[in-house]
Chains A and B, each alone.
Chain A
Amino acid sequence: MTKIILFILDLLKPVFRSMNIDYPQLRAIIEIKLIMDNRRQTVRFTKKQAEKNNVFLWTLIVYTIFGGFIAIGIAASNFMLGMTIFFSFLMAMVSVTLITDFSSILLDTSDNTILLPRPIDNRTFYAARTVHILLYLSQLATCLSAASCIAIIWKYKFWLVIPFIVGIFLTVLIAVFLTNTIYLLILRFANEEKIKNVINYFQIFMAIFVMGGYQIGARMLTHYDYTNTIVEIKWWSYFIPPIWISGMMDTFYATNFDIQHITITILAVIFPLASLYITNTFLTPFYNRKIVMMETTIISNTGIEKKTSTSFISSIGKLITNGTREEGTFSFVYKMLLRDNKIKLKIYPGFGLIFVFGFLFLFNNKESISSTLSNLSTTHYYILLIYLPFMVVQTALYEIPFTEDFKASWIYYSTPIEKPGELLTGMAKAIFLQLFIPIYLVISIAILFFWKSMVFDDIFFGLINNYLIFLILLTINTRYLPLSMAPNARSQSGNLLRGLMLLVCTGLPALGHYLLANKVWIMLVVLPFQLIAIYFLQRSYRNTLWADVKF
């Protein structure tokens, strides 16, 4: 694979040359990066980790299946609508992957000591990283688009595949250049000490924006009549990149060369080139220097940088935990959830999505907003709202074992820990208290506002039920100690089965609640059983032995 990629790169040599990039250096960096990426998963610990070799392959397979669904969309709708759906989807997927997974390549400081002392100029260094990112995204985009290519050949004309493929790569380029431009602007103008945080907030915001926007867009489309809805180029189309590409496709399909189509096609082609030119001339000259600054943080002599008063939290921690090991892990995890940028990036967008989803559930029909609101109190929508915050908790549980600092977890093995379960419950309590309780309070207030106090029992019952689901999830999940695993060491085996079990085990209690909504007396009957289940699950989780912990 590496050889094929390098061969393609060699073909593009003149392009790089024309941008004043040192091609042999670029090629050398890319080659070594690809070799390392291939090896990284295999040689980690002495343990049997061969299964991890295929993480990326799995992602590709899943994306290909995803792509299949979208191809059905293309086949089912008219040309322009299908193209708009496809390219919006593609751009959303590419951007999210880029922001959450691959921007670390652009902002990597780990090889500073290896590469920066060598005579590599800003442009080449930046280009090498951008190409590295592009290589991955192109593979993902290819998988996402494979089925749609077939759909196009089958439904339309064969030669349309050519502009379609061009469109796919333009989409990837636009996503990459837009994001990179913003990163470079942040690097250029943000206060050096704050760069990492600014970037983190930007990533969180973008993740909410892209995912939320995509959700809203997708829901809006369900109200459309697929075959008859006409997507026309309006003035606002010029601001939405995916429509540039679909407009370009329409130009070829309908052989429509009016002024709007021409303009939008030109935009689609010119934009990536222009942003490439702008970044290359104005922004990359600062790149190396800023990357160095991201790493060398200078300690201020006063030493008072960020004093955090967590005394309130630690007193709560004392109350709800049992034993110093559980208490210690509780406050450790609590702090890490507030500070680890990677974890924040994965978890915090969930808060934004809760509101997007909540909004969508409420207004997912054709009635006017005012009539929806006035009829609200007669519906059971609030049950959905009660279970929405769980989304964040689920992500947190999925992410909390993984950190760049995983090597620091040697302390778990050098200290006398008899029952790692105590650490696990400390972790679980921190997650539930920090990520669930506050948002549940906010949602409860909103529910009480719309539905009045008659649903108070449901809110209480929902809280207990959510905690029960949380414990079920903990019981089923692979048990890792908090912040103890390398980020790419995630176990892939048995994911499908586990996923199904999760769906059933966490879905059933929520469904049960939906059926019981407003039936206070049944809830009172069920409640003791819930509490007993909670007691036993929590106890067994706390008794987790070393043999059950994966590391």
Chain B
Amino acid sequence: MTTGTEVIITNNLSKTYTTKVLNDINLSIKSGEIIGYIGPNGAGKSTTIKILSGIIPEFDGDASVLGFDVRKDSLEIKRRIGYIPENASLYETLSPLEYLNFIGQLYGMDSAQVTKKAKELLHVFELSNFDETRMTTFSKGMRQKVLLIAGMIHNPSILFLDEPLSGLDANAVILVKEILSQLKKSDKTIFYSSHIMDVVEKISDRIIIINKGKMIANGTYEELNSQAQSGSLERIFTELTGNKEHESAAGEFINILESK
């Protein structure tokens, strides 16, 4: 696959539970791109990712990933993508090595090969000392590192990450960002979601903003920033970048606390 092929295409992708959580999402993402999928809590980010990674089969509209129809060929897609959910749980009583081994085997990889790979990856993430320690004692950041490895162990061409940086310490954030840009260089596509923009703005090629199930912006950080300046995106943009003036609300909050 050469750079520039379209790897994710959606056409009026919609999803309705009791209310419409996704409304006519049209995506067109090329290989080698890093996409920031940004929106406030409850905007429909996780739902989009779950549909694209073949976990939710019922939806309206069309979606294809790597040329496969998401509805029909979800197995083929799952083989070629990595998915790391938000607040993911793992089987804590296993050690990272055992856990990664299990995951690798679910992907159909040979146990010896996974073990070797997992050991090396854990070493990169500075978890070598703990590779045979049960994860019950792990901090949130350590777990997140294990999950990141679990999502990539089978060398996927697209990586879906739901809030990948939550709970990581500053060093790990830098490391993850660095890994993501390296992955980009080897023509991997990365699709991550987040509810804050500033953490990842620098590595994203493109930022897509969704709100209440609708796509409201699509462009580079600079493009979006200038649109926000001109007013069209201002409210949602300031909310996502966290710059909004919340003084009046805060003042009211204090007043209520102090009343009576």
Contact = CB atoms under 8 A, between A and B. Distances in A.
A46 B79 CA distance: 27
A418 interface: yes
B133 A324 contact: no
Interface in A404-427: 405, 407-408, 410-418, 423
A305 B91 CA distance: 17
B132 A307 contact: yes
B130 A303 contact: yes
Contacts, number: 107
A335 B95 CA distance: 10
A254 B226 CA distance: 95
A325 interface: yes
Given A297-B136, A305-B133, A408 B75 contact: no
A340 B136 CA distance: 11
Interface string B128-146: 0110111011110000000
Interface in B52-110: 53, 55, 75-76, 78-79, 83, 85, 88-95, 98, 101-110
What size tier do the contact residues of chain A reach?
A: 35 or more
A327 B101 CA distance: 10
B12 interface: no
Contact of A416 (B90, B107, B132, B138): B107
B111 interface: yes
A321 B88 CA distance: 29
B111 A314 contact: yes
A223 interface: no
Counting chain B CB atoms within 10 Å of each CB, the highest count among A46, A308, A416 belongs to: A416
A405 B89 contact: yes
Nearest to B18: A46
B45 to A, nearest CB: 16
A483 interface: yes
Interface residues of B, number: 39
A414 B85 contact: yes
Interface in B31-47: none
B217 to A, nearest CB: 29
Interface in B127-173: 129-130, 132-134, 136-139, 150
B6 to A, nearest CB: 22
Nearest to A423: B106
Interface string B230-253: 000000000000000000000000
A417 B106 CA distance: 7
Contacts of A327: 105, 111
Nearest to B91: A408
Contacts of B110: 324
Contacts of A316: none
Contact of A328 (B88, B105, B138): B105
Given A336-B93, A339-B93, A416 B130 contact: no
A483 B91 contact: yes
A340 B150 CA distance: 22
Interface string B108-133: 11110000000000000000011011
A299 B93 CA distance: 14
Contacts of A357: none
Contact of B133 (A46, A304, A332, A339): A304
Interface of A: 46, 297-299, 301-308, 314, 318, 323-325, 327-329, 331-332, 335-336, 339-340, 405, 407-408, 410-418, 423, 483
Q: Which 4 A-B pairs have the closest CB atoms?
A: A328-B105, A303-B129, A407-B89, A416-B78
Given A299-B138, A405-B89, A416-B78, 13 more contacts: A46-B17, A305-B132, A324-B108, A328-B102, A331-B101, A332-B102, A405-B90, A405-B91, A408-B89, A410-B88, A411-B150, A416-B76, A416-B108
